[in-house]
Amino acid sequence: MYAQMIKSTGQGVKTLDEMEPQERAFQERIDAGGKIEPKDWMPEGYRKNLIRQMGQHAHSEIVGQLPEANWITRAPTLERKAILLAKVQDEAGHGLYLYCAAETLGITRDEMTEQLLSGKAKYSSIFNYPTLTWADMGAVGWLVDGAAIMNQVPLQRTSYGPYARAMVRICKEESFHQRQGYDIMMKMAKGTAAQKRMAQDALNRFWYPSLMMFGPSDAESIHSAQSMAWKIKMNTNDELRQKFVDQTVPQAEYLGLTVPDADLTWNEEKGGYDFSQPDWAEFFDVLKGNGPCNTERLAARQKAWDDGAWVRDAMMAHAEKRAAQKVAAE
C-alpha cells in the first residue's frame, strides 16, 4: 500500500502469557480497542515499526504529488486545472498530517526527509510510473486513490491515536480525489474514439501497478502478523486487493472499458472475482529503485529540498531577528 513491505521485530507474535506485565497491559489495551497516545509506554518494536510505516506513508503522499503535478499546467480546462491543483494540495496536506503524527514518536521532520532522500525510507511503488496522457489523471484518481482508500479507511481504527486521527482527516478528503478521477474517466470514455482509446490505455497501464499497491501476499508473514496484533495493520494484503478488484471491475464496466486481464471471472462461490496477480518481479525491481521514474522522482524531491534551503534559513533568521528586537523593546 502507501506503506509496503514493512518489517517488524521479526520475532513473531508473543502470547499474552509470554509478555512482561507492562507489555501485557499494553497489548490488552489494544485488544480492547483502546488507543495508545504519544507519552504512553510502548514496546520499542511498536514505536520503530510505526515510525517506518507512517514515514513511508507520508513520503508516498509527498512524492505522490509529482505524477499529477505533471499535468497541472496542461489541464484541458480552467476548471479541471483548479480541481487538480486542489487535489495535489490535499496530498501535500496528507503528507504533513502524517509527518506530524510520526514526530510524536520521537523522530524529527528533517530526519525523515533525510531518510527519503538517501533512499533509506521508501515510498509507494505506484508513484514510480509515469503519467503520459491526461487520461492518466483520471486513472490515478480512480484507481490509485481508490486503492489508497481501501487501505486507509480501516486504518482510521488503528491503535496509535495520532495516526488514527490523521487517517480520519485524510479519508474525509480522499473521496473527492477518487470521484474527480472517475469523472475524468467518464468524460473520456464517452468522448471521441481517440479519447476512449486514451482512457483504455490509461487503465491498461495503471491496473497492475494499482494491484501491486497492496503488496505481495502476506498471509504467511510474521511481520504482518505482528503488525496486525498491534493494530497498525488491519487487513491482509490479499483481503484488501480482493475488495479493490470487486469494487473496481463494475466501475470499469460502467465506463465501457476492459480490465486488462483475460482471466478475470466472477466466482459465485466466493462472491468475488478471480483475477491475475501482477508481476511481482517487476514490483520488487521498482522497490529497489529500478522503476521507470524512481530517479526522476527522487531528483525532484532533492531539488525541492536544496532549492528551498535559503528560504527556510532566511525565514528562520528573520523570525529570530524580530524576536530579538521584541525582547530588546520590552
Partner 1 sequence: MSSSTPEAPSRSGEWPLWEVFVRGQHGLSHRHVGSLHAPDAEKAILNARDVYTRRNEGVSIWVVEAHRIAASAPDDKGPMYEPSNSKVYRHPTFFDIPDDVRAM
Contact residues for Fe ion, defined by CB under 5 A: 61, 91, 94, 145, 174, 177
Q: Are 139 and 181 in contact (CB under 8 A)?
A: yes
Q: Per CB under 8 A, which of residues 70..99 are in contact with partner 1? A: 86, 89-90, 93, 96-97
Smallest distance, Fe ion to C-beta of residue 309, A:
26
Q: Which does 145 bind (CB under 5 to 8 A by kind): Fe ion, partner 1, none?
A: Fe ion
Nearer to partner 1 among residue 39 and residue 271 (C-beta): 39
Nearer to Fe ion among residue 103 and residue 174 (C-beta): 174
Nearer to Fe ion among residue 26 and residue 59 (C-beta): 59
Smallest distance, partner 1 to C-beta of residue 30, A:
15
Nearer to Fe ion among residue 60 and residue 236 (C-beta): 60
294-302 CB contacts, 8 Å cutoff, 24+ apart: 294/128, 297/63, 297/66, 297/123, 297/127, 297/128, 298/116, 298/117, 298/119, 300/66, 301/62, 301/63, 301/116, 301/117, 302/117
Smallest distance, partner 1 to C-beta of residue 177, A:
13
Smallest distance, partner 1 to C-beta of residue 40, A:
5
To 5 degrees, how large is the angle CA 81–CA 85–CA 96? 170
End-to-end CA distance of the chain: 53
- d(C-alpha 163, C-alpha 180), whole Å: 26
Nearer to partner 1 among residue 41 and residue 266 (C-beta): 41
Which residue is associated with the grid cell 528533517?
110
- In the complex, which residues of this chain contact partner 1 (CB under 8 A)? 37, 39-41, 86, 89-90, 93, 96-97, 100-101, 103, 108-110, 165-166, 169, 173, 312-313, 315-316, 318-319, 322-323
